Amino acid sequence: MRRDGLAGFLLGRVAGVPVHVRPSWIVVSLVLGMAIASPAAGLPGVTRGGSLVLGAVLALLLSASVLVHELAHALVARRRGLTVRGIALVLTGGRTEMSAAETPGTSALVAVAGPLANLAVAAAAWWAWTLDLPLTARLAALMLALASATVAGFNLLPGMPMDGGWILEALVWRITGRRAAGTRAAAWVGRAVAVGLLVTAVVYPLLRGASDLTLVVWSAVIGATLWAGASEHLNAAARRQALDGLAPAALAHPAVGVAAGASAAEVHAAAAGGLEVVLVAPDGTPVGYVDRRALAAVPGERRDATPAGAVVVPLPRGAVVDGALAGRSALDAVSAAFRFSRVLAVLGPDGAVVGLLRYEDVVDALSGRGRVPGT
């Protein structure tokens, strides 16, 4: 699992990557160790003390296996040019904070690296199980092999936030050319996996007349976590789609440019039909936009004698954006221009004013409350 926050205790650095441990992972490790120690104590040749050691060793080995999984993500990501900020061991396993992949191929390679690393650990542990080692060591190797294989299999499920979800996202992204479509598909499958986990752990045992309370509780926790993760990715897909569809010319209110020396009467005529009016200098530079309320307050008989500048809100130099931009380049441009003003003049291909874009228009579009072209 990937791309989340890093809150927790700093454990150290591995291959230059910071590794954090959250309290939830420590709790999981203790519970796992005790869960293994209890049945192990009943095995021939295993003492009570030996079972506790076995449980502790397995918890540590499983933590190491998860760390190897996340390191595989991190190292492949760095190899592909992504920025890796660190790793966190959390309730449901591990998470690697990294920048987003720019291509479906890179995303798929980073995703599959973790499960492949787990399968390699499982193979090595299985080999250790076949060696002539003390019983406790062989049992630890066997359980590590099974646990690593389970982690790999679970992460390959084709739904977010599992690694298989990222692979599915990359596949749909590659086919459709739209990452948001891949994210939505993988997130909905992730929700289905969360529900399926609860059904398998709760409903199926009840139909057979038996249930394991511990299994039900853990399944509920993991299922809820997976559902929340999938839902967050659905929200991310909506934000990405909004960003991909961001186009200043489409979001802006239609506007017309009027010479800065015009009268309020000329501005009033230009504003007919609901158009916004932007005053432009002789060189075509927008210098202000008309305040409709101020214009409406000018009596009709005085409009000819009232200069347009009397009903205009000044636009600082730099409060303009190219209407031909779209997507990320558009967001970067409007973000830079909004530092000068919360209202921007949108320019057409010939440099003429074609629209007036307000900060709220962009915020609403990116949050899904406004109109996004093409959706």
Q: What is the pLDDT of residues 111-145, one digit of tens each?
A: 999 999 999 999 998 999 988 888 778 877 887 88
Question: Does the structure show a pLDDT above 80 at 275?
Answer: yes
Q: Tell which residue, 198, 228, 204, has the closest CA to residue 216.
A: 198
Q: Tell which residue, 134, 137, 126, 165, has the closest CA to residue 1.
A: 165
Name the token pair of 304. Answer: 């000819």
Q: State how far the Cα of 349 lies from the Cα of 97, in Å rounded to an integer.
A: 40
pLDDT at position 50: 56
The label of the residue with tokens 């599959």 reads 112
pLDDT digits (tens, 9 = 90+) for 11-28: 888 888 888 887 767 766
Q: Which amino acid, one-letter code, is at 328? A: R
pLDDT digits (tens, 9 = 90+) for 154-212: 889 888 888 999 999 999 999 998 888 888 899 999 899 888 887 777 776 667 666 56
Question: Does the structure show a pLDDT above 80 at 361?
Answer: yes
pLDDT digits (tens, 9 = 90+) for 57-108: 777 777 788 888 999 999 999 999 999 988 888 766 778 888 888 899 999 9
Name the token pair of 327. Answer: 């997507």
Most confident of the ranges 30-34, 132-136, 146-150: 146-150
pLDDT digits (tens, 9 = 90+) for 206-244: 676 665 666 667 677 777 778 888 888 887 777 677 666
Strand, coil or helix: 307:
strand
Question: Is the Cβ–Cβ distance between 17 and 71 less than 8 Å?
Answer: yes
Domain with residues 248-367, CATH architecture: Roll (3.10)
pLDDT digits (tens, 9 = 90+) for 329-340: 888 888 888 888
Which residues is 356 bridged to in the sheet? Answer: 253, 345
Question: Does the structure show a pLDDT above 90 at 51?
Answer: no
Q: Put the strands of the sheet holding 9-14 in their side by side order.
A: 9-14, 17-21, 84-90, 93-98
Confidence tier at 38 by pLDDT (50, 70, 90): low
pLDDT at position 371: 43
Q: Which amino acid, one-letter code, is at 218? A: W
Q: What angle do CA 368, 244, 257 make, to 5 degrees?
A: 85
Q: State how far the Cα of 319 lies from the Cα of 289, in Å rounded to an integer.
A: 11
Tell me the helices (H) and strands (E) count for the chain, helix number first.
13, 11
Question: Does the structure show a pLDDT above 60 at 1?
Answer: no
Q: Tell which residue, 282, 280, 265, has the closest CA to residue 356.
A: 280
- Is the link from the previous residue into 104 a cis peptide, with omega within 30 of 0? no
Average pLDDT (350-364) is: 87
pLDDT at position 114: 93
Q: State how far the Cα of 215 lies from the Cα of 244, in Å rounded to an integer.
A: 42
pLDDT at position 13: 86
- Please, how many CA atoms are within 13 Å of residue 156, restricted to the half-sphere of its CB? 13
pLDDT at position 6: 55
Strand, coil or helix: 99:
coil
Name the token pair of 6. Answer: 């890093």
Question: Is the Cβ–Cβ distance between 95 and 70 less than 8 Å?
Answer: yes
Question: Does the structure show a pLDDT above 80 at 47?
Answer: no
Contacts of 336 (CB under 8 A, 6+ apart): none
Average pLDDT (266-270) is: 89
Q: State how far the Cα of 14 lies from the Cα of 73, in Å rounded to an integer.
A: 13
Question: Is the Cβ–Cβ distance between 167 and 108 less than 8 Å?
Answer: yes
Domain boundaries, the chain: 9-244, 248-367
Query: How much of the chain exceeds pLDDT 90, in percent?
Result: 18
